[in-house]
Amino acid sequence: MKQFLKIVIGVAAIVSATSCKKTTELEIPNPNQQDESNFWKSATDARLGVNAIYRNFTRNGAPYSRWLPFYMDVRSDDGYSTSGWPELQSISGLNITQYSFEVNIDTWAHHWIGVNYANQVLANVPNIEMDATLKNQYLGEAKFLRALYYYDLVTIWGNVPLLLTPSRPSDRPMQATPAQVWTQIEKDLTEAAAALPVSYPSDELGRATKGAAYGLLGEKTVGNTRDPRLAVTVLYDSTDERGPDFTSVYGSSWTSHGYDPDYNKRAWYHKYLDDYYRINEFEVFNSPINFRVIRYADVLLMYAEALNNLGQTNNAYQYVDRVRQRANLAKLSVIRPGMNQQQFLRQIMHERVTELSGECLRWNDLARWGYFDDPAKLAELKARDPEFNNFRIPRNKYMPIPQSELDINANLKQNTGW
């Protein structure tokens, strides 16, 4: 008993003696806690790092699970907001006055989180000893996903920083020009296309493929390159049908609008309709149906547009016909043969809005066709969508950068007009 008391008293004395020392001396490292110093060691770590980039898409409030349609479709002539939330109505109405509202901050922040995750993979995975082919694939996925995040960032805000290495809390990056960002997007996608596989096993569906990289690169080159031959070359590489049955290759993203095979159910809404319905009672952000980033129909229509830009209008007809036939519509070559280059472009504009409505493509389509820079074209939008009477060139081409970001980074400048 006395011995036990001595032990207790001794322990108490030790605790008493050490309790007045600095707290840091009492901290015991957790051997299971991972950080940058002990993480990037194995192929498993590399895979987890890549998966984290994908996981960012499904975070609560993340753009692809909730807010991106407001920027890419509702803000355009393809949709409108019936929300009681004034800030959402202000996006649709092009009359934003509050720059740091939740939607703007969340969308900005989640994109940069995704960019940083991709940068961590690209900075650390090259140093991991692992299968070379798998390493190359993981790096290709990270480049594709970084390009996708930057595609949205430059479309929504235009003048954004161009971060290519992992960020630190002390960083105060400067903005790049949209042209510089587009150049990096093209570089990332070109390298990703060379590294990514054509397909994956069934339990890996949803990962970036070679065709996805070419498809997104096509979106970039159709609208932003001075040489339309590049767009034709890129998109030709992404139009490999791999057999006559498109359904087996592209699934419901070819046979339907990418959300539900029942054409009587609309996932999205249109300003020319009186009301709208959501799929099967689900909100978009918690729907069990996957979000389709790129569809083969989009690739075919981009390819037709690129051919038309080269003056190969007659050759372009067949690719529009394939999209129309899938929807059981008459061939364009039958009902409107012999169109000139400008007439065909107008038809492409119609085909894209009817085929791809609500798929987060409309704003970028309008931008690349010059509707946000040309007063005459802007007048067309105003005539069919009164909300565009609030549009001011060049202000409304881009969203305002969240004021909270400007407050903490003096190197950021607000977009023109805001």
Mean of per-residue pLDDT scores for the chain: 81
The model's pTM: 0.81
- Tell me, yes or no, whether 319 lies in a domain: yes
Alpha-carbon distance of 330 to 269, in angstroms, equals 25
- Tell me, yes or no, whether 324 lies in a domain: yes
- Tell me, yes or no, whether 376 lies in a domain: no
Instruction: Pick the last residue of a domain from 327, 342, 368.
Output: 368
CATH code for the domain of 268? 1.25.40.900
What's the pLDDT band for 79 if we cut at 50, 70, 90?
confident
Task: For residue range 317-347, list pLDDT tens digits in order.
Answer: 999 999 999 889 999 999 999 999 999 999 9
Beta-carbon-side half-sphere exposure of residue 90 (alpha carbons within 13 Å): 15
Is the same domain home to 394 and 336? Answer: no
Give the number of domains in the chain. 2
Number of neighbouring beta carbons within 10 Å of residue 52: 15
Alpha-carbon distance of 326 to 261, in angstroms, equals 12
Is the same domain home to 345 and 402? Answer: no
Alpha-carbon distance of 133 to 30, in angstroms, equals 34
Is the same domain home to 263 and 399? Answer: no
- Tell me, yes or no, whether 2 lies in a domain: no
H-type helices in 41-199, by residue range?
43-55, 68-69, 86-93, 102-124, 132-156, 178-195
- Tell me, yes or no, whether 84 lies in a domain: yes
CA torsion 249→255→258→260, rounded to 10°? -130
Average pLDDT rounded to a whole number, residues 260-271: 34
Is the same domain home to 175 and 235? Answer: no
Highest mean pLDDT among 82-86, 99-103, 253-257: 99-103
Q: Cis ω on the peptide bond leading into residue 337 (within 30° of 0)?
A: no
Is the same domain home to 299 and 363? Answer: yes
* C-alpha radius of gyration, the chain, whole number: 26
Is the same domain home to 214 and 363? Answer: yes
Residue-by-residue DSSP string for 372-383: TT-HHHHHHHHH
Is the same domain home to 64 and 181? Answer: yes
Is the same domain home to 81 and 224? Answer: no
Is the same domain home to 299 and 405? Answer: no
Report which DSSP code applies to 404: H
Residue 344 domain boundaries: 209-275+293-368
Q: Which single residue is written with the structure tokens 């989640």?
A: 110
What's the pLDDT band for 29 if we cut at 50, 70, 90?
low
Is the same domain home to 79 and 136? Answer: yes
- Tell me, yes or no, whether 27 lies in a domain: no
- The pLDDT of residue 175 is 98
- Residue 73's Cβ-count burial label (10 Å; 0-12, 13-18, 19+) is buried
- The pLDDT of residue 264 is 33
- Tell me, yes or no, whether 26 lies in a domain: no
Is the same domain home to 192 and 214? Answer: no
Is the same domain home to 410 and 316? Answer: no
Cβ(295)–Cβ(352) under 8 Å? no
- The pLDDT of residue 231 is 60
Alpha-carbon distance of 408 to 13, in angstroms, equals 48
- Tell me, yes or no, whether 243 lies in a domain: yes
Beta-carbon-side half-sphere exposure of residue 401 (alpha carbons within 13 Å): 21
Q: What residues contact residue 69 under an 8 Å CB cut-off, 6+ apart? A: 79, 268, 284, 358, 360
CATH code for the domain of 164? 1.25.40.390
